[in-house]
Structure 1
Amino acid sequence: MATSVLAGWAQIREDFAAFYRDLHTHPELSDQETRTAGLLAQRLRDAGFDEVVEGVGGTGVVGVVRSGEGPVVMLRADIDALPVQEKTGLPYASTVRARDGDGVQVPVMHACGHDMHAASLAAAATLLAQGREHWRGTVLVVFQPAEELATGARDMIADGLFERFPRPGIVLGQHVAPLPAGILGYGVGPVMASADSVNVTLHGRGGHGSRPESTIDPVLMAANVVTRLQGIVAREVPPAESAVVTVGRLQAGAKDNVIPDVAELGINIRAFSPAVRDLVRAAIERVVTGEAQTSGAPKPPEFTWFAAAPALVSDPDATETTVAAFVERFGGQRVMRMPQVNASEDVGVFGEAIGVPTVFWFWGGLETESTLAAFAQGRIDELPGNHSPFFAPEIEPTLTTGVEALITAATTWLDPAPL
């Protein structure tokens, strides 16, 4: 069935390669993906989709193509870019600047490969629509905004995704990664970590830098918090579990001889189990509150939790079935088991919301020979990874592999057309 659906790929491949380059040149930040969404919606209309709806959950796009009675299969791609200055030197590199959610002008780049995700899914959707005589069921295509904020999936669900459109029996998604182009990687069970961020405000009493005894110094308070937080993973998380606590932002004061009233911390955590996630969240609040009390803070610290995404769980049984189809199509040498990834993804929110399995995999986007050499020589950290200003997938074979993987996975869960 996949081979039949893919029969028309050679005729449209160059068109979608050009489409990918256009998306890469014109990235848009989270919740600002209006141009991208419009182009993707038009691609679905041109392909003959039965329904195409824009503006779902903000700037999301949903398409529905039917071919008789059968399973409902959801294919999802994220579409937002990052505030990163591109340094790839490509002829189609982004020079875009835009204002972020705080109104600050920033450079914009598809540094995480969402342009490749979108182009691959648009192409796969086109082929599935053109080849609907080969399968039976319904394909639900979801182009999701704001993955980088971990809000887009929930926004689409809150906007009635599963009430307004057919409810799927499985959610399928993929992510381009710093692997050799043409290679697929997968995991079973928790494959990507949960993510939570919190902004913390510590309150002190400011004054002259020459008279610290008359102040309650929130800078010292913040420094002690940063040091103490490192003990959470080292001494509270069981050694067999995994977690990360990162303080990515510490801001306080504006002048060297003035002790400020407040200090602010931006903290990010990752975990693979709900129990460890809850443990770390509670420990952060306990440590910060305890340090504030010990320092004599005039009022308790403030916590603002945001950007929460659960651990991404690739359903074991559904993953086994999908990976078997990948091995049959690509060969065992091109399909590899991967370790858990501490980065996060909100695609798991979709399946979790309606109690259906999610299957998620990675596929390589870096030049094959040099990347294999780097793997063999232990130089993996030298490769440009996601969120790097140097990250840009090789268009081929990355695009073709992404399209083939989506169609192979989709047709594994759709019914075949009767002979």
Structure 2
Amino acid sequence: MPKLEPWARLRGAGGEGDASSVRPPDLSLKGIVKWTLTLPGTGHASCVEWGRFWFTCTADPVSGVHMLHGIDSVKKTIAWTIKSPFGTYHRHDFNTFASSTPAVGQAGGVALIPSGNAELQLIGFSYTGQKRWAIDLGKFPTQHGYGASPVISGNVAIAAAEPDFAMGGIIAVNVLTGKILWHHKRLSADAPYAAPLVTKINGKDTVVVPSTAFGLTALDLLSGEMIWQLKQTPFTQRCVGAVTRSGDMLIVTTGSGAGARLAIGFQLQDAGPPVQKWSLNRATSYVPTPLIIGSDALFWGDNGVLLRVNSTSGTTVYQERISDNVFASPIHMQGAILNITRKGEIVRVSDQLRPQPVELLPLGEESHASLSVFANQLVARTLSKVHVLG
């Protein structure tokens, strides 16, 4: 089995949630939770890693302080915290002021944080806890508050910050210096929350972002030049889950809290924009990002229903109710698919063509944060705690 890459962004390398080389923990074993760390404040940011240090975010909504934590995984303590004051703003009851997951890389880390009154900042930080730079992204008026996560490719950090019906865009900066490399500005509709997908298309490093207003957009990673855009794409609802790739297919999901769901499979072409091959308007996911296993795409629906389809045709392989409601995105470990429910129950099912049996491990606190895998450890982030299983 290949060595697992550092889990350096939301859902690990490429945002794929792939830890299939790592054996999952047996949730039925007594003492499977090796240690738990209580954090000050609350949040829904997942944990990411670089070396012995782990990173996540919380916020204190009463004092109006956002906290970016560096955790020493050897000492099992918080090594440092970068505190940033902010003015509280309107957000959905399911959201927090620290729902965006930081991203890390060789040159350092970046995080999207609240700053002033409903304003947003992209900051850079070192692994010794220094805030290196900050870029003000302006007001961020939304129905739900902020929650999208940045990504890093090489020394380039990419963040999508598009508010509801206001000017926003996608920005790329140098991780070390904070120098803006490009800023693709545009007037949004419903705020998208999907983390950007960075992938190679026709030999070119490409940033792919979905939105209600602009459909599917592909930008050159280094220049920000638009490669193609599918503005006619029928995204009538909000884009929250990230775009996923399966071979030559891009899979996009949209939806609403009222229950609307739409997933579309686009096939990449040798030149020009991709072509829509299939669509599904039921049993797919809205907030969770799909998971790719082999030639299949798996949608762990917000209502706990797991739908598995062929990535190329959209044909259903199976559909089973697996869990309670979820906001987190599933991950793949050796022989198993895992997720965590909103109640804070880790769920493990087989990755074979029938998902039973189901194993559950309640952690005792709500969670909207996707699971992480660091070396041979499963790491779960709940509202105010980090739990380490091994």
Q: Does the alignment reach a TM-score above 0.5?
A: no
Higher strand share: 2
Higher RCO (Cα < 8 Å, 6 or more apart): 1
Superposition TM-score, scaled by structure 1 size: 0.24
Larger radius of gyration: 1
Superposition TM-score, scaled by structure 2 size: 0.25
Higher helix share: 1
